[in-house]
């Protein structure tokens, strides 16, 4: 992986008069920690966070960030609608591998009668999405890139917690095509829209319709979450990360649980630790932080763990009529 250029970051840190800096690196960039540390520590007092972090929603623990002047986060793009309690400089990572797209890779779109294609991507592949855009146009397709809500920085960008770029264009295109790796974002787009969704998977350069995978996902989730229907004791968790902090949402859920004559405690945590909830002898967990946690980590929990929308599907007075992916539109502000 190419080293990210820190020169502009150093200029910005000097302009803001920062002396003590917290440096956050995602796991993929940690092998270069000495390079980044040496370059920055020539001018600043650098603290490196060894905690895992998952995105721009997470600037680490308050105990650490409250003692620095600024944070440098490598790899992710800013989430514009978060009021970060400290100045944060985001140095984004973009996948710069040269990709030669097979000539016939988009033929199935033509054969399927799709003419107007909505384009989406995970942010590190935004340059590849632009390449795909020009290939499709040369092939005679028309394309649209969705303008997302204020949680996203770039047109077309999706996160595991926000598919607003897809909502914006789903009714004006024949299908959506997401440039990504893996399946999660594609499944999320499919669940949050009613149009056909294709993944252009850069791992194996394949173009796949995600519908069957999405149906399998829904079946698996229903089996898991339906175990919560008879739960009497709920832990409702507020994640304390700045970009996942939804205390007001948790309070609404707690009110509903009590209204049903069941018991709920509200918990704050920086990590969803399965042992904690087992020790508390709760029957189900509702997790209001990153929507990926209940989905990706469900097998680690002894009891069902629900996203906010899954709770609504099971217990709301007006439940949605189909499976809905939880999305974070806004979060409660955390003061420094
Ligand atoms: S809440 Fe989850 S999906 Fe959203 S940015 Fe944070 S880690 Fe990523």
Cα–Cα distance list, 79 to 64, 70, 154 (Å)? 20, 16, 10
pLDDT given for residue 334 in this prediction: 82
Query: Is residue 85 located within the same domain as residue 133?
Result: no
The CATH number of whichever domain residue 282 belongs to comes to: 3.40.50.11860
Is 322 domain-assigned?
A: no
In the reported structure, the alpha carbon of residue 291 is separated from the centroid of ligand 1 by a whole-number distance in angstroms of 7
Is 68 domain-assigned?
A: yes
Atom 8 of ligand 1: nearest residue by CA position = 55
Query: Is residue 186 located within the same domain as residue 115?
Result: yes
Query: Is residue 63 located within the same domain as residue 148?
Result: no
How many structural domains comprise the chain? Answer: 3
State both tokens at 138: 């040369």
Is 98 domain-assigned?
A: no
Q: 247 is in which domain, residue-wise?
A: 218-315
pLDDT along the chain (336 residues), means of 10: 88 97 93 95 96 90 93 95 95 92 92 97 96 96 96 96 97 97 95 96 95 97 97 97 97 98 96 92 97 95 97 96 94 82
The minimum-distance atom of ligand 1 relative to the CA of 289 is 1
- Residue to substitute in 57, 237, 288, 296 for testing ligand 1 pocket (most ligand atoms within 8 angstroms of CB): 57
Query: Is residue 225 located within the same domain as residue 267?
Result: yes
The CATH number of whichever domain residue 79 belongs to comes to: 3.40.50.11840
pLDDT given for residue 333 in this prediction: 86
In the reported structure, the alpha carbon of residue 94 is separated from the centroid of ligand 1 by a whole-number distance in angstroms of 18
**Using CA atoms, how far apart are residues 184 and 187, in angstroms rounded to an integer?**
5
The predicted model scores a pTM of 0.94
- Residue to substitute in 164, 182, 249, 328 for testing ligand 1 pocket (most ligand atoms within 8 angstroms of CB): 328
State both tokens at 205: 């350069």
User: Which residues' Cβ are closer than 6 Å to ligand 1?
Assistant: 54-55, 57, 159-161, 243-244, 290, 292, 328
pLDDT given for residue 300 in this prediction: 96
175-180 sheet: strands from edge to edge:
142-145, 116-121, 175-180, 196-201, 206-209
Query: Is residue 304 located within the same domain as residue 225?
Result: yes
Residue 157, strand partner residues: 121
Query: Is residue 300 located within the same domain as residue 239?
Result: yes
Is 263 domain-assigned?
A: yes
Domain end (from 145, 180, 209): 209
Is 260 domain-assigned?
A: yes
């Amino acid at each position: 992986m190419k080293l990210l250029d820190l020169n502009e970051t150093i200029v910005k840190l000097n302009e803001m008069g920062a002396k003590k800096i917290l440096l956050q690196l995602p796991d993929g960039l940690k092998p270069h920690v000495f390079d980044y540390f040496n370059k920055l520590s020539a001018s600043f007092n650098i603290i490196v966070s060894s905690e895992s972090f998952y995105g721009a929603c997470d600037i680490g623990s308050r105990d650490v960030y409250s003692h620095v002047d600024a944070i440098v986060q490598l790899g992710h793009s800013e989430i514009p609608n978060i009021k970060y309690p400290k100045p944060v400089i985001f140095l984004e990572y973009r996948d710069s591998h040269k990709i030669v797209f097979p000539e016939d890779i988009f033929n199935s779109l033509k054969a399927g009668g799709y003419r107007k294609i909505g384009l989406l991507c995970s942010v590190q592949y935004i340059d590849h999405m632009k390449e795909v855009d020009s290939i499709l146009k040369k092939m005679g397709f028309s394309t649209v890139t969705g303008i997302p809500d204020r949680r996203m920085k770039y047109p077309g960008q999706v996160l595991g917690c926000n598919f607003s770029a897809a909502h914006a264009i789903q009714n004006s295109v024949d299908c959506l095509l997401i440039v990504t790796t893996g399946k999660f974002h594609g499944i999320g787009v499919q669940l949050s829209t009613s149009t056909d969704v294709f993944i252009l998977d850069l791992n194996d350069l394949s173009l796949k319709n995600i519908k069957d995978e999405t149906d399998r996902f829904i079946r698996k989730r229903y089996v898991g979450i339906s175990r919560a229907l008879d739960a009497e004791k709920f832990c409702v968790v507020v994640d304390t990360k700045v970009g996942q902090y939804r205390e007001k949402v948790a309070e609404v859920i707690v009110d509903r649980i009590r209204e049903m004559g069941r018991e709920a405690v509200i918990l704050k945590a920086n990590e969803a630790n399965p042992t904690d909830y087992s020790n508390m002898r709760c029957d189900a967990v509702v997790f209001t932080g990153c929507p990926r946690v209940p989905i990706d980590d469900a097998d680690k929990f002894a009891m069902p763990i629900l996203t906010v929308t899954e709770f609504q599907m099971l217990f709301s007075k007006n439940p949605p009529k189909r499976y809905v992916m939880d999305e974070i539109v806004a979060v409660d502000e955390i003061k420094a």
